[in-house]
Structure 1
Amino acid sequence: MRVVITGAGSVGRSIARELLHNGHQVLLIDKDADDVQASRVPDAAWLLADACEIAVLEEAKVHECDVVVAATGDDKVNLVVSLLSKTEFGVPRTVARVNNPKNEWMFDESWGVDVAVSTPRLMTALVEEAVSVGDLVRIFQFQQAKASMVELTMPGESPYIGKRIAEIQWPDDTVLVGIIRDDRPIAPSRDDAVEAHDELLFITTPDNEDVLEQMLSPGTRPPRDEDYR
């Protein structure tokens, strides 16, 4: 996979190192990068230029890459890079860093953003995930697909404890993608039974998050037939 990363600060360099370690091709673009920064990620290709200019993105052959990661510390730059990558060069996937949570509402498909990553929101989700039992926690949202990854730790009083996956009817557009049990990830099968304190990971839509939480957690109304229509 070929990945272009705009912004060679600590975040961009960290992403580049991980991708390179996993065998991907990486090009870093930064107008302020110097030889010291380049030497920190010697296996990446570098382009010292302004990623907000179309000519620079053309030179970087963005149209040939699989993913563009807008990882600068400036939200305006990340939005412009995402929009140009998507509309001018048809990049299949864009991932944009959100620096100011107040700007998060702009990071959607109208600005060419497929996945928005907000560090404050992600840290909040991880804190909530660590201490919440029975509460649905949104890990992140896929902007283009209008879907989100959510987590719920099963309380011992849930009516679904002991039930097999095949016996549970999830809300529409909801998929159980993983179970974390005793600190080990499990790929759920139809015959797996839900246990107390299992961490269930779902891909679902924002409209179904409340339904899913009410369904699995005690003390809420039981799901009605219309919830699944």
Structure 2
Amino acid sequence: MKVAIAGAGAVGRSIARELVENHQVTLLERNPDHVETDAIPTASWRLGDACELTLLEAVGLHEFDVVIAATGDDKANVVLSLLAKTEFAVPRVVARVNDPRNEWLFDEAWGVDVAVSTPRMLASLVEEAVSVGDLVRLMSFRKGQANLVEITLPDDTPWGGKAVKRLELPRDCALVTILRGARVIVPEDDDALEGGDELLFVTIDEVEEQLRQLLLHAR
């Protein structure tokens, strides 16, 4: 898979290091001081402004499978996302949100498939750590208007010992994973739920409250 990463600062380089072993990675950076080819020698490096069509055409952005807008400038990330989607038809565009106040911009209208807000994710993780028995939104998938949500069942959950198949989930909601201690469980119909289980769902906004009510009250 071909991946273009705009922004070779600490965030961009970290993403590149994670991906470069299995994918063809190109880093786009406009600051010459941040172009450190020795840091990730197996990646391709291009000096230039990722918001400039000439650079994107030169690297052949239309051939890439994923573009990651990871600069420290939200305006640049939005512009690149829009260009990648509308001018080069890149299938998957992921954008970094630096300021949570700008989150409303990072949607499908601006070419963003997935918006990643570090402050929002950190806040969600804090909530997830302290919120037992309540629904916590961890991430939004903008293109499909779906969310990754988590709920930790309290120790005295009425669902303790009951099979997953008894969860009559609302429409547009799916149980993805059960985290139990050090285990990651792909749920099957006959798996029994336990107090302390962390349940991860992909769902839409409209049914999150139904899901919360369902998990707090056994049937």
Q: Bin the TM-score by the shorter chain.
A: over 0.9
Does 2:133 align with 1:118? Answer: no
Structure 2: runs of 5+ lacking an equivalent: none
Moved over 6 A (4+): none
The offset of 1:170, in angstroms, is 0.5
1:8–1:33 contact (8 Å) kept in structure 2: no
The correspondence of residues 83-102 of structure 1 with structure 2, limited to 5 A, is: 83-102=82-101
SS at match of 2:36: helix
How far apart in 1 are the matches of 2:171 and 2:32?
Answer: 48
| 126-135 or 97-106, larger mean C-alpha shift | 126-135
2:29–2:35 contact (8 Å) kept in structure 1: no
Provide closer, same or farther for how the CA distance between residues 35 and 148 of structure 1 changes in structure 2, counting only shifts above 3 A: closer
The correspondence of residues 25-36 of structure 1 with structure 2, limited to 5 A, is: 25-34=24-33
Which residue matches 2:159? 160
1:152–1:201 contact (8 Å) kept in structure 2: yes
Q: How many residues align?
A: 219
Which residue matches 1:82? 81
Query: What's the Cα RMSD here?
Result: 1.5
SS at match of 1:37: coil
Which residue matches 1:57? 56
Which residue matches 1:17? 17
Residue by residue, what CA displacement relative to the aligned partner does 1:38-78 show, whole Å, maximum 9, x if unpaired?
A: 22111110110111011111111111111000000000000
Structure-2-length-normalised TM-score: 0.96
Identity of aligned pairs, percent?
56
Which residue matches 2:8? 8
Residue by residue, what CA displacement relative to the aligned partner does 1:84-126 show, whole Å, maximum 9, x if unpaired?
A: 0000010000000000010011100010000000000000111
The offset of 1:36, in angstroms, is 5.8
Structure-1-length-normalised TM-score: 0.92
